[in-house]
Structure 1
Amino acid sequence: MRAVHACLLTLTVVFLSSAMTLKPAASLPSPFAKAASTSAATKKIVKPASRGQQSVGTKPARWCGWYMRTQLGGGPEYNLARNWAKRGRPLNGPRVGAVVVWPHHAGMITGRTKEGHWIVRSGNDGGRVRERPRSVAGAVFRKV
């Protein structure tokens, strides 16, 4: 009986993993693209898509890197924020669509305020997904 259960579980995992695909990392995810053009979106609180949650595993306690995986794909090593500093190619400054990485946090730049502050969307920002102006001083910028 255990062998039958193991086979069924294996088949289920194989089927589900083949049915779930992540968005290619080279394209700009549409939620970020839409938010970059609107200033009202900076106050909106957004939850990660359920499809993304299922495809990247259980949300860890420190989950900003995990949230980025729901948006851009990547393996479990990207649950750790600082590993985003090695992904893609380096940029010499902030720009819309760039992944921004601080020593213990990661997010994506989605726009700029009239005052010139960069708007960043990230997970685990105050315990939720938020999009708001943030200082990018001391951060690393990557094109993923």
Structure 2
Amino acid sequence: MSAELLLLCCLGLLTPSAIWGMPMDNECIDTMSCTEILTQLYSQLLTIPNQIHERSIAPWTYQKKIDPYRVPPTIYEAKCLTSHSCMGPDGSTSLETIPISVKIPVLKENMYKKCTSLEFETITIACLCAVPRNSDLRF
């Protein structure tokens, strides 16, 4: 019974890769077919409303992350300015700033295999205000 369960788990891990035609992490792929798609996907992440990072009640800045062995080589990541800058409904700073992160696909050069592989990097894209987890305050 446990061998069957292990086999089902392994098939479950491999099935999304086969169904979607996507390689598993660190599997070599053809860079020509993916580079344009990833560049378009990443450019869509940058179409955020004008200066929203400065107008937000949980403001953030952008930091440039450069990796010459990655496509795209430059990724801008949000960095929350403070951890407790949000004003609550009573005017106090009872809310906390929470970073919002997403996983994005990137191509990474694998120096050992001398090929390129599809990987996912977690980047912070914005910050928002939220009630602390241990708070009784509700809206």
Shared fold (TM-score, shorter chain, > 0.5): no
- When Rg is computed on C-alpha atoms for both structures, the one with the higher figure is 2
Calculate the TM-score normalised by the size of structure 1.
Answer: 0.31
Structure with more strand by fraction: 2
Structure with more helix by fraction: 1
